[in-house]
Structure 1
Amino acid sequence: MGITKLADLIRSAAPDALSYKDISDYTGQVIALDTSIVVNQFRAMTPKLSPVRGVFFRTLTFLEHDIKPVFVFDGKPPWEKRAALKKRAEAAGRNSFNCTGAASSQTKDCLQLLKLLGVPVIQAPGDAEALCAQLVKEGTVDAVASEDMDTLPFGANVLIRQLNAKRDSEVTEYSLPKLLEKLDIEHEEFVDLCILLGCDYCDKIAGLGPKNALTLIQKHRTIENVVLHINREKHPVPHSWKYKEARKIFLEAPETGAPELIWTEPDEEALVKFLRDFKFLKEDRVRHRLEKFHQMRESKREEREKERAAGHSRQTHMEDFFRVTRKRGKPVETADSLNNNTKRPKSK
């Protein structure tokens, strides 16, 4: 998943592009989340339980920190990704994989949960990380939260990893502008570097390590020129290599309109009924967590108010949190359109 050994390369070649933060540093920010990454994390951690439980707890943690989450769901994957998806399905012991983008029953459960939690949901036309990156580039959101490093070649200026509910968890933030400056390459050249490292959309040149790939791109600037200057016997180029198709996927923005993002207070009674009736969580545990959510949110707001009074500026007012954010153009598909398979009408 993502770009092979890119995180290691950044740590060694461009450490200034990294910063380490706390979840509270993102108070008041709009964060796009690659939902499949969140769901898969909970599948791996608690394989016998529905990931709906984990999404419930994590979303409340974001909200009590006054983070504005936007959950982005995958659409139909690019044809070029089928080989990678098939390989992952086989590794997980599954006989098939989703190549249509149709919402599974588990996806629909997550959509219903997020709707009751009062957070916006967006359906991407293709890979969610591509749309997440586009939302950052156009200024609709402040950052992308994902463990998938290919969010960077898609053009996300700010990528956040390890943004989770664990206490004292250190969040890692990647700055794409700082990364490109430190590596002394343009974004298009960075995309070629990521293809050389190994991505989901095509094969890679065998035996070409990260440091060598970076040196070659810094010197020759394009894959076409790199191929002319490597030892083809030592590093054979894949037959019918689809690197141009992969490059196009990374560089072409998803064809969607800008979304209308609205956050509302969680519908507590509906949440209790939904989680209880589908046996995701017992009623007393849901009510206890919601009570804790309200207490924690108010406590954190009081702390920020004291900081503001003492001369600090981090402050989020309730009326600023629950509001429409960045209305621009027509909306992309949202939770209702995912369930009904119809697009929302253009906003006027």
Structure 2
Amino acid sequence: MNKIMTIIAIALLFTACAEKTETVKIGVVIPLSGPFADFGERIQNALELAKFDVNSQDGINRQFVELIYEDTQCKGEKTISSLNKLKNFDNIVAYIGPFCGSPIQVASKFSDENKLVGVSPNVNFGLLSTYFFNMLGLVESEDKLLAEFAIEELNASTAAILYHDNFFGVFHRDAFKKYFEEKGGKLLVSEAFTDSDLDFRSSLLKTKEADVLFIAYSNPGEILNQLAELNINVTVLGQSGAENPEMLRIAKENAEGFLYSFPRVTIADKFKETYVEQYGDLPVNAAAGAYDALNILDYVFEQCKNFSSECASEKIQQLKEYEGASGTMTFNKETWDVGKEYIMKTVRNGKFVELT
């Protein structure tokens, strides 16, 4: 669509909106500031595209969608306060997000207690609530791939883990340990750190005898710098959140050779083209997942009277071969998976690339 047609389409949509007074409010809890703000901005971009598409088709149940954004900074306490505000003041019917791992635990508990549907475009820890869903494959599948890669491809027999001491980090720690030991590997040391920790050197010195070091943290740039400073030559593994521009900015050349798991997502050409045309940049996986999240809410609420959360939950669980911007999804009621696998990637010449 060229710029003239885009302006005409937007004008027509605004004219239609002016004729309608009812809107349906959907909350969005994402990081719009802090170290993961870049992802939040891309998610917001995709949601605005999805909102335009949904409202162009007469909205949801003939009510135009209004998105209400809340900045969580990827923090649990901000997530819960945002959700309380969205539910009790804004009267949302559902919400999209969060993006980060530990806030997802908080949000899923909120969904369960309030019977409010939430759909995250990112991390999938499995069944946390029957009202909470994710657009990615299971985290446990990701950790299984990492452990198997360490044993089978790197010939590692020993491992160390450095993890963020929160729900996200502990989940990754336990799953990696489980699969690494099942394959015959031995865990030598497991070290935790908190948000206030800036010096990882004492923990890193304990890992130098291991064949591989798994870092369960989404911004390991400073950890990589301190590894290089200590001249510790250990093969470093990470998880998908590490594909973060901030990590490359901090670690620079120390990120070279960093190995990590990442969801295999084939972003739909039509969505990719529209996103590039509107924003001049390629969409990340989370952006495609966010676009799908809003469209799935549209799809299920069109089948549910009065925006019933119980009905919406049931309809999402029945999704089969749903063709979205982030690929094909079939929901598994037993595992809470959507059928997306993980692959291995690395940092090469300052860029994130698939490992070949």
TM superposition score category, shorter chain reference: under 0.3
| Larger RCO (CA within 8 A; separation ≥ 6) | 1
More strand by share: 2
TM-score under structure 2 length normalisation: 0.26
TM-score under structure 1 length normalisation: 0.26
